[in-house]
C-alpha cells in the first residue's frame, strides 16, 4: 500500500467534509490514518504459507480440536466501518494438526481485509480445511457491526452470527451438534 498516496487522500477527505487539515489536532492525522489502514488491511499482503510457517504437524488423531473466543476485527466492505467479535474454529484432524495459535493467525489474515462477515467465515473454514486436510471444519462468528450500530438502523446491541461447516461437520448432524455444544451454542 502506498501510504503517502493514502495520506494525501485522507487530507482531501478532511477538506471535503469541511475540516481544516492544517489545524493543530489534524496536522499528522493523514499520516496516522494511512498507517492505521496499512495495518488494518495487511491481510492483502499476507500469505497463508507464511502465516502457517510450517506449524502443521503429523498426528494420528481423530479428535475434535477447538479454539474458542478468538477476537476478530475487520472492516465492512459496504461502509468501510469496523466490525468485531468472536470466532470459534473447530476441526477434526486426520493425519495433520495445526499449531493452535495458527487458527487465530488465519482469522487475522482474512479479517485484515475489507470484508463481509459471511465471506470471512467461509475463508477461515476453507483455509483450515485445505491446510490440514481435515475430516471436517466448523467456524462460527459472532460480530457487532459499527455500520449497523452507528448509522442507518442504529441498533447498538445487535450481533450477527454466521457459520460455515465443511466435511463431517456438514454431513454429520451429531458432529455438528457436538461442535456447537462445545462452543456453547447448542
In this predicted model, what pLDDT tens digit does every residue of 40-61 receive, in sequence order?
A: 999 999 999 999 998 999 987 7
Q: Which of 133, 111, 136 is nearest to 121 (CA)?
A: 111
The pLDDT of 9-21, averaged and rounded, is 97
Torsion of CA 159, 142, 48, 40, to 10 degrees: 40
Q: Which of 117, 114, 121, 132 is nearest to 48 (CA)?
A: 132
Percent of the chain whose pLDDT exceeds 70: 100
Compute the distance between CA of residue 145 and CA of residue 159 in angstroms, rounded to an integer: 8
- Quick one: pLDDT at residue 156? 85
Largest CA distance in the chain: 63
- Reported as a single tens digit per residue, the pLDDT across 138-161 is 999 999 999 999 888 888 889 999
Q: What is the residue-wise DSSP string for 94-163? A: SSEEE-HHHHHHHHHHHHSSEE-HHHHHHHHHHHHHHHHT-SEEEEEEEEEEHHHHTSTT--TT--EEEE
- Quick one: pLDDT at residue 154? 82
The pLDDT of 73-102, averaged and rounded, is 95
Query: Do the bridges between strand 82-92 and strand 136-145 make them parallel or antiparallel, or are there none, so unpaired?
Result: antiparallel
**Cβ contact 138:179 at 8 Å:** yes
Compute the distance between CA of residue 85 and CA of residue 142 in angstroms, rounded to an integer: 6
Confidence band for 181, pLDDT divided at 50, 70 and 90 = very high
Compute the distance between CA of residue 165 and CA of residue 112 in angstroms, rounded to an integer: 22
The pLDDT of 163-179, averaged and rounded, is 97
Compute the distance between CA of residue 100 and CA of residue 60 in angstroms, rounded to an integer: 16
Domains of the chain by start residue, with CATH: 3-40 (1.10.286.10), 53-182 (3.30.1130.10)
Amino acid at each position: 500500500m502506498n501510504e503517502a498516496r493514502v495520506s494525501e487522500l485522507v487530507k482531501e477527505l478532511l477538506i471535503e467534509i469541511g475540516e481544516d487539515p492544517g489545524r493543530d489536532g489534524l496536522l499528522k492525522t493523514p499520516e496516522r490514518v494511512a498507517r492505521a489502514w496499512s495495518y488494518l488491511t495487511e491481510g492483502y499482503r499476507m500469505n497463508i504459507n507464511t502465516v502457517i510457517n510450517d506449524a502443521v504437524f503429523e498426528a494420528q488423531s481423530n479428535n475434535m480440536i477447538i479454539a474458542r473466543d478468538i477476537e476478530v476485527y475487520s472492516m465492512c466492505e459496504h461502509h468501510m466501518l469496523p466490525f468485531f467479535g468472536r470466532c470459534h474454529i473447530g476441526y477434526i484432524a486426520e493425519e495433520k494438526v495445526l499449531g493452535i495459535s495458527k487458527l487465530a493467525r488465519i482469522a487475522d489474515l482474512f479479517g485484515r481485509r475489507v470484508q463481509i462477515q459471511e465471506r470471512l467465515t467461509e475463508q477461515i473454514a476453507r483455509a483450515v480445511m485445505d491446510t490440514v486436510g481435515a475430516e471436517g471444519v466448523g467456524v462460527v462468528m459472532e460480530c457487532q457491526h459499527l455500520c449497523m450500530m452507528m448509522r442507518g438502523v442504529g441498533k447498538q446491541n445487535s450481533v450477527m452470527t454466521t457459520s460455515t461447516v465443511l466435511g463431517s461437520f456438514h454431513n454429520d448432524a451429531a458432529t455438528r451438534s457436538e461442535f456447537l455444544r462445545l462452543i456453547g451454542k447448542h
